[in-house]
Amino acid sequence: MAEFKDRGTVRIADDVVAVIAAIAASETEGVASMSGGIVEGFARRVSGKNVHRGVHVKVGDIEAAINLHVILHYGVKMDRVCKELQNRVKDTVEMMTGLRIVEVNVKVEGIELKEEKRVPAHQGDQVRVK
């Protein structure tokens, strides 16, 4: 962040960057959800901090690093989704904060299968729809 001696300094909290990254990630096509895991749940209970599920950030004075833990939809091209995810999160966080994002690491921790829905075709009949 730029420092102005006559105005003071601006610092952006890790949690703020995590929220921005989580929203950008959730808007990426192919991402089913973020993955928090057991360790994150434990950290939330012990520290009392609002840990953002599946997003871990380290913010410095002028740059930040972001780690994402995601669950993708079954059938997507993982490499393409992860590259899009990295680009979207990097661009969004940089645009909103002015921080330089040095890395966006993505760990795919699972695949979500689409549930079959049952829609009645005629009274008494059920047809499976994917």
Q: How confident is the model at residue 50 (pLDDT cuts 50, 70, 90)?
A: very low
Mean pLDDT for 31-38 is: 80
Q: What class is the 14-129 domain? A: alpha beta
Mean pLDDT for 53-68 is: 94
pTM: 0.74
Return d(Cα 128, Cα 27) in angstroms, integer: 28
Q: Is the model more confident about 9 or about 112?
A: 112
Asked whether the predicted pLDDT for residue 40 surpasses 80, the reply is no
Mean pLDDT for 81-94 is: 98
Q: Residue 4's pLDDT is what?
A: 56
Mean pLDDT of the chain: 82
Asked whether the predicted pLDDT for residue 33 surpasses 50, the reply is yes
